[in-house]
Structure 1
Amino acid sequence: MSSDPQPSSPDRHATASSADIDGETDTDIGDVRSDPRAARGSLSGRAGRLARRAAIDTRPLGHVAFRRLWLGQAVSFTGFQLTSVAISVQVYDLTKSSLWVGLLGPANLIPLIIFGLWGGAVADTMDRRKLLIMASIVTWTATLGLLVQAILDVGSVWLIIGLVVVQAIGFAISSPTRGAVIPRLLPTVLVPAANTLNFTASQVATFVGPVLAGVVIGHGGYAVAYGIDAVLFTVGLYAALRLPRLAPIGGEIRRPGLRSVIEGLRFLVTRPVLMMSFVVDIIAMGVAMPRALFPEVADTRFGGEEAVGWLVAAIAIGAVVGGLVSGWIGRIHRQGIALIAVIAVWGLAVAASGLMGSLWLAVLLLAVGGAADLVSAVFRQTILQTYAPDEMRGRLQGVFTVVVAGGPRLGDLRAGATASVVGVTASWTGGGLACAVLVVVIGLAVPSFRRYTTAARGPVAERPDP
C-alpha cells in the first residue's frame, strides 16, 4: 500500500470518508447518476482497473538483467522444444521403432537427475554467471553436433543418443543455476511475478516449438530444425554473458561433491515448508497426470490421432492463459494454503475431464487444470527461492529440477499401469480425485506449511511442527 505524501487535514478526512474504494467522491457519484455517459465511463474505468490488476505482472522486465535472461530463456527454450521433436522424428525415421524413440526418455532423465543435483551443488560454490555460461555452451555444442550429423547424413542413432545425453547434462546444470540467479537480480517482492513470466514463456515455447517443428521438418528437414535451434540459442547465451558477477554469498563455501549434495538434501528434509513444496508437486504430477492415457482415449472416445494433439496442448494452453491473467498471484501472501488449493483444483479438473464424452469439454477442463498447474509452479518456485538461504539455493533448485522432470514421468507410469488393471477412465478420473484428496489431507497435516506466509520468510520464521 502506498502512503499519501500530503499532510492530513479535517477537510481531507471528510472527503475521504465519502469516497468509495475507487476514490470517487459524492460529487463524482452525483455526476454519474445524472449523466449516463459518466456512468458508462465509470464502469469502463473500473473494468480497466480490474483488467490491469488481473493482467500478468511485467514489473520484473523493468530490470535489464532479468529482461535479458527472460527473453533469452523464452527464445532458446522454443528452439529446445523444436529440437526435441526433431530428434524423436529423426530417430524413428532411422529405426522405424518406437522402442528407440522411447530410449530417448532415459537418455534425458538419467543425466537430468545426476547433473541436476550436482549442478545445483556447484551453483552454490562458484560464480553463477560463469556456471550458466559454461552449461549453456555445453548445450549449444550438443545442438551444433546434431546440426552437423544431419548435414553430413551420418545416420547413427547412437551418435544422436550420445548428443542427447550431452544436451541433457548442459540443461541439468543450467536450469537450477538460472533459478538460483533470479533472487539475486530482483527484489523479493518481484520474485513471484518473475517466476510467472518465466513459466508462462516456457508454456508458450512448449506449444510453439512442436508446432514449428512440424512445419520446419516437413519443408526443410532435420538440419534446418537444428540450425534454427542453434541460432535461437545464441539469444540465451548472450543473456548469460551480460549477467553481472554472481559470486557465492553467506555461509561456508565447500567444494561441490556428494557431501555437498547430501548437505542440501539434509537441509531440505529438516525444513517442512520446503519439503512439502516438493511433496505436493510429486502428488500433483505422480498421481494425477493423465498424459499416458491420451492416445488410448483419443482412439476409443474422440475419434483418432488429431484428438491427441488437442489433449496434449490443452494443459499448455490453459497455463498460458492463466499466466496472462496472473496479476493477482503476487498479492497472495499465504502461499502454503494457496498451493494446497490450486493443486486440489488441478486434481479435480483432471478428474472431471476424464469423464467427458466431448473432446472440447475435456480440453476445456484440462486447460483449467493447466492454469492451476502454472499457479502451483509459481508458488513452489517462489517459496524455494525466497525461503532458502542463498548458499543452499542452487542445491535446492537442483532438487526442484529433478522433481519437475521426474514427476510427470512417474505420472505416466502410474496412469499406464493403473489403466491396465482398472481401465482408462478409472485411472484418469481416479488419479485426479486421489490427488485432490491427498494434497488436502497431507498439506493441512503440516502446520508450518499450512500457515506459511510471505510476511515471514526463511528458516528463522519456521516454528517446529508439534
Structure 2
Amino acid sequence: MDSSKKTAEDAPADEPTADRVTAAGTAAEDRSARRGRWLMDTRPLRHPAYRRLWSSTTVTAVGSQLTAVAVPKQIYDITGSSAWVGYSSLAGLVPLVVFALWGGAVADSVDRRKLMLLTNIAIAVTSLLFWVQAFAGAHSVWLLMVLLAAQQAAAGMNAPARSAAIARLVPAEELPAAIALGSTVMQTGLIVGPLLAGVLIPVIGLADLYLIDAIALTATVWAVWRLPALPPLEANGSPVARRGGWREVGAGFRYITAQRILLLSFLADIVAMVFGMPRALFPQLADTTYASWNEGFALGLLYAAIPIGAVAGGLFSGTFSRAKRHGLMVVIAVCGWGAAITGLGLSGSLWWAAGFLALAGFADMVSMVFRSAILQSVATDDMRGRMQGVFTVVVAGGPRLADLLHGTAGSAFGTRGAVAVGGVLVVVVMLGLAAAFPAFTRYRGA
C-alpha cells in the first residue's frame, strides 16, 4: 500500500477528515434543531413585510406604555384623586370598544394597509397633542379625557386591521409563531415601558414622555407605509368592494354564532379573565397577606409577574407554537391558568404567589397564541377584521368585568378565598365547555 494514501482510520487524532467534519456538522445541526424546538420560532421573520411590521412593534410597545403611565400620572397630579384616574379608564374603554367593533367592519371593506396608516398617524398626532398640552402647562382634566378618548378610538380602529393583516403576511402554518412573536414584544413593553417611565419622569419630566411616544410612532407609520396593498377579498381570494357600516358589525356577530369553534375560542378567554383575573385584589393582597414585605415592592411584583411569565412563554414558544391541536391547546392553557390562579389564592408566600402568577402568564400566552391562530384560520379574510374587532373588545372588557367581580367577592369572602375559588371555577367551566363541544378540542390548525 502506498504510504502517502491515508485512510480515515490511519489519520492522526488531531487531523480533521471529511467524515469527522460531516459528523461534527450534523451534530451541530441536531443541537440547533433541538434548541429550535424549545426556543422562539422565528420563521415568520423571514418574510420582509411581517418583519417590518414586527420591528416597528418593538419600538412602539415601549413608547405606548410611556403614554399609558403619563396620562394617569398627570390626571392624579392635577386632581389628587384616584377616582378621576378610574374615570379616565372608563373614558378610554368606551371609545375603544365602539371603534374596535366598527373598525373591524371597516377593515373588511377597505385596504387594511391604508386604514393602519391613517389610524397610526392619528395615534401619533394625539400623542403629540398630549405633549403640547403638558408642555404648555395646561391643567385641564377634561382636555386629557378628550385626547385619551380620541387616541383610544384610533387605537380601536387600528387593532382589527393590524391583527387581521398578519394572516396575509405569513403562511398559515406560521400563524402561531407570528402571533407569539408579536405578543412577546407587547408583553415586554408592559414590563419595560412602566419601568422606563419611572426612571425618566424625574429626569426629563412628564411632558417629554408623550413626545418620545409620538416619535416612536413614526417607526410604525414608516413600516406600514412599506407594506403591500391589503385590499378586501372574497372568501375565494378575489378582490371585492364592500361596505363597512353597523349592519356589517351585526353580520359579524351572526357569523360568530354560526362558527362554534370561533365562539368557543372567545368564551374560553371570557371564562379565564372574568373568573380568574384577580388584579383588583392585588393592592389588598400586598397590604395584608404579604404585609411582611414592603407593600410597594409586593404590589409591583404582583403586577409584573404575569407579563414576565408571558414573555417567558414567548421566548420558549418553540415548545408549543408548532402544535396542530389548536383547540386542545386552548383548553389546556386555560385550565393551566385556572390552576395557577388557584395556587395564588392558596399561597401565603409572596415568592410563591409571584411564581404562580408567572405560570399563569405563561399559560395566558399559550392560550392567546392559539385563540388568535384559530381566529385567523377559521375566519375567512372577508370576516377577519370584524372578528378581530370582537377579539379586541373581549380582551379589553374581560379584565374590567373581572375587576368588578373580584373586588366584590374579595370584600364579601376574603381575598385569598375569592382568588382560589375563581381559579377553580375557570378549570371547572372550561372543562365543562370542552365536554359540551368536543369538536373544539378536536380542532386542528394548518
Would the aligned equivalents of 1:193 and 1:329 in 2 still touch at CA under 8 Å? no
How far did 1:273 drift? 0.1
Q: After superposition, where does 1:130-279 map in structure 2 within 5 Å?
A: 130-250=114-234, 253-279=241-267
Deviation at 1:185, TM superposition (A): 0.8
**What are the Cα deviations for residues 71-120 of structure 1, in whole angstroms up to 9, with x where unaligned?**
11221121111111111111000000011100111111101110000000
Alpha carbons 2:110, 2:231 under 8 Å: kept = yes
CA gap of 1:74–1:45, structure 2 versus 1, over 3 A, is closer
Q: Is the 8 A contact 1:295 1:305 kept in 2?
A: no
CA distance in 1, matches of 2:127, 2:26: 55
SS at match of 1:327: helix
User: Could you tell me which residue of structure 2 aligns to residue 364 of structure 1?
Assistant: 355
1:429 aligns with 2:387: no
What does residue 89 of structure 1 align with? 73
Partners of 1:267 and 1:102 lie apart in 2 by 34
**Structure 1 position 308 matched with structure 2 position 299:** yes
Deviation larger for 104-113 or 272-281: 104-113
| Alignment-mate amino acid for residue 71 of structure 1 | S
SS at match of 1:354: helix
Q: Distance in 1 between the 2:79 and 2:69 partners?
A: 16
- CA-CA distance at 1:46 after TM superposition: 6.2
2:437 is equivalent to residue 449 of structure 1: no
Return the alpha-carbon distance in structure 2 between the equivalents of residues 382 and 198 of structure 1. 13
Maintained 8 Å contact 2:331/2:430: yes
1:42 deviates by 10
Supply the AA of the counterpart residue of 2:352: L
- Aligned match of 2:17: none
Mapped partners of 1:218, 1:434: distance in 2: 44
Q: 1:136–1:170: 8 Å Cα contact kept in structure 2? A: yes
- CA deviation digits over 1:276-305, x for unaligned, max 9? 000000000011001011000001021312
| 2:283 is aligned with 1:286 | no
Kept in 2: contact 1:123–1:394 (CA 8 A): yes
1:345 is the counterpart of 2:336: yes
TM-score, normalised via structure 2 length: 0.91
Q: Does 1:52 align with 2:36?
A: yes
Structure 1 counterpart of 2:283, one-letter code:
P
Letter in 1 for 2:309: G
- Residue-by-residue CA offset, 1:324-344 (whole Å, 9 max, x unaligned): 111132321111111101100
Match of 2:405 among 414, 417, 434: 414
Return the letter of the residue paired with 1:110: V
SS in 2 for 1:454: coil
Gaps of 5+ in 2: 1-23
- SS at 1:250 equivalent: coil
SS state at 1:453 partner: coil
Q: How far apart are residue 45 of structure 1 and its match? A: 7.9
Distance 1:101 1:47, change over 3 A: same
SS of 2:443's equivalent? coil
Match of 1:4 in 2: none
Distance 2:195 2:54 in 1: 22
User: How far, CA to CA, are the matches of 1:50 and 1:187 in structure 2?
Assistant: 23
SS at match of 2:109: coil
What is the CA–CA distance in structure 2 between the aligned matches of 1:77 and 1:169, rounded to whole Å?
Answer: 18
**Matched letter for residue 383 of structure 2:** M
CA-CA distance at 1:368 after TM superposition: 0.6
1:71 is matched with: 55
Tell me, what secondary structure is at the counterpart of 1:153?
Answer: coil
Residue identity opposite 2:271 in structure 1: I
State the alpha-carbon separation in 1 of the partners of residues 134 and 320 from structure 2.
44
Counterparts of 1:162 and 1:117, CA distance in 2: 20
Amino acid at match of 1:246: L
Q: CA RMSD in A?
A: 1.7
Aligned length, in residue pairs: 417
The CA distance in 2 between the partners of 1:84 and 1:328, in whole Å, is 32
Unaligned runs of 5+ residues in structure 1 are 1-39, 456-466
Letter in 2 for 1:377: M
Task: Give the letter aligned to residue 148 of structure 1.
Answer: V
1 CA distance for matches of 2:186 and 2:384?
Answer: 21
Q: Which amino acid aligns with 1:98?
A: S
Q: Deviations over 1:196-246 (max 9, x none)?
A: 001100100011111011111122111111111111111111111111111
Shift of 1:448: 2.1
The one-letter code of the counterpart of 1:236 is T
| Change over 3 Å in CA distance of 1:44–1:421 after alignment to 2 | farther
1:125/1:248 contact within 8 Å kept: yes
